[in-house]
Chain A
Amino acid sequence: MPSENLAITWRRLPERYRLAGSACDNCKTNYFPSRKLCPKCRRKGKIIAKQFSGKGKIYSFTEVTSGPVGFELEVPYVLAIVELEEGPKLTAQVVGISDKEVKIGDSVEMVFRKIMEDSEEGLIHYGYKFRLVK
């Protein structure tokens, strides 16, 4: 990932730190990451704030062994698509396991973790990851 400046990081904090998303009050669809326009209702839509619980299930997963810039020290890591119990899906890492210890359908919950460091003197980015729920 290329370096993110402070402004980008700052404006994404509510979503990345505590899964603050949005919903359309017209069609009742939940959105995470949040959307400022409902793609189903467009101008008829009414976007409101929606807090997600952080509980969900593994929809798909992979173990990344060849990582992008900034993740050189993180590999290998399990990356998953998590289906939140409120409906939306998101992309996130699953902590503390290898791909041999996870399967589609497993229950997970959100945890707050360090995502990566821009550089030795750059920002340290935090956000959501998930862990298996026994």
Chain B
Amino acid sequence: MVFMRKVAIVGVGMSKFGEEWTRGYRDMLIEAGGRALADCNLHGEEIDGIYVGTMAPGSLVGQEHIGALVADFMGLNPVPATRVEAACASGGVALRTGYLAVASGAHDCVVVGGVEKMTDTPGNEVTSALGGAGDQEWELFMGATFPAIYALMARRHMLEYGTTEEQMASVAVKNHLNASKNKFAHFQNEITIEMVLKSKAVASPLKLFDCSPITDGAAAVVLMPLEKAKKYAQMPIEIIASAQASDALALHSRESMTSLRATKVAAKKAFETANLAPKDIDVVEVHDCFTIAEIMAIEDLGFFEKGKGGAATQEGKTALNSEISVNTSGGLKGCGHPVGATGVKQAVEIAWQLRGQAEARQVKDAKIGMTHNVGGSGATAVVHIFKRAE
């Protein structure tokens, strides 16, 4: 690792997340990419690599080869463009791929995009396409859905640690409140615990408002070696750790169903690389595809003891400017979850936080931030740590 260059984010941008009936994959990604380039005043000639995280364009709208599509429509041909897929962690793994490309010296200026167009497809077909993140032959074939798989984890968490439906609901309430302060978020409305508890059953004990929504959106960041970054950005954001881990694809093959081993391994590696501990993190974007997922994430990342994540959330310890500000963007629940875009959007939010540009949801004096992106029910986890470059 000694030969690796330091890497910084110089520009960030995202499209408005939501039900974007008038726009498809290329439109949203080009908007996000254009904003990221404008953010660091780049015209495009400097770019020598493109990575795009997207999970299921083939299943959702029949379009593959998104990398080349984007290079074409952004006017960046003949720059090499590569699609990266790791289910719902596609964006985070694309970011890591771009980071490695710049750190290694292979590329000097890389655009990393993430995108998903989900509302062109009927709901049950989206459910089936997302199901591909799990084991098609041994989970999906038997009637499993992603809400069902996370419900199986939630039921164990409730049994082993006494986590309650109210505690899970408090994750959704907090994330909607944060989203209401984010003009790019899918949901702009606050909700109550009672609304979550009374929402339609999806897969018991999970209800509709425990689930992240079906969202369209894209996000993009521009990466450069740190030594060049100052020339383009007033406040470059250095990526001080990038770590990824794998685990069994099917939930039933895992050692634990109340903890994601891939998250724990990736987090440990990231903290070691950055020489930091959970207490040093000011703001974190975690993968809350379901409310139980945020509770497990804040435990597995080391912010709270195993089994205490639900109570900590209910007590407000993860709210904006509390003990640890979790999912200031609104998270997957409030900001929305265009699957391939999510991992990149998390980095966009952290960059805004560390630059002091997060408006009404600004974490006071945020210096160090973290992102945590999960693929499937925990078969891939990718963790990044960021700081304001000196």
Contact = CB atoms under 8 A, between A and B. Distances in A.
18 contacts: A1-B136, A4-B141, A59-B257, A61-B152, A62-B148, A62-B151, A64-B147, A64-B148, A65-B201, A66-B145, A69-B125, A70-B128, A81-B152, A81-B252, A88-B252, A88-B253, A90-B138, A91-B139
Interface in A54-105: 59-72, 74, 77, 79-81, 88-93, 99, 104
B131 A68 contact: yes
A66 B203 contact: yes
Given A60-B152, A74-B143, A12 B127 contact: no
Given A91-B252, A104-B159, A65 B124 contact: no
Contacts, number: 110
Contact of B152 (A2, A65, A79): A79
A37 interface: no
A62 to B, nearest CB: 4
Interface in A34-56: none
A60 B136 contact: no
A77 B148 CA distance: 11
Contact of B204 (A63, A67, A91, A115): A63
Contact of A81 (B143, B147, B205, B251): B251
A33 B305 CA distance: 33
Given A65-B202, A68-B140, A91-B252, 5 more contacts: A2-B128, A8-B137, A62-B204, A65-B201, A79-B203
B138 A91 contact: yes
B137 A12 contact: yes
B144 interface: yes
Interface string B231-257: 000000000000000000011110001
A2 B159 CA distance: 34
Contacts of A92: 142
A68 to B, nearest CB: 4
Interface in B146-195: 147-148, 151-153, 155-156, 159
B153 A64 contact: no
Nearest to B145: A68
Interface residues of B, number: 36
B261 to A, nearest CB: 13
A132 interface: no
A28 interface: no
Given A65-B203, A91-B252, A60 B143 contact: no
Contact of B143 (A8, A99, A104, A115): A115
Given A62-B204, A64-B148, A65-B201, A93 B128 contact: no
A90 B252 contact: yes
Interface string B97-118: 0000000000000000000000
A112 B56 CA distance: 33
A70 B252 CA distance: 22
Contacts of B206: 62
A71 B383 CA distance: 35
Given A12-B137, A91-B251, A67 B145 contact: yes
A109 to B, nearest CB: 16
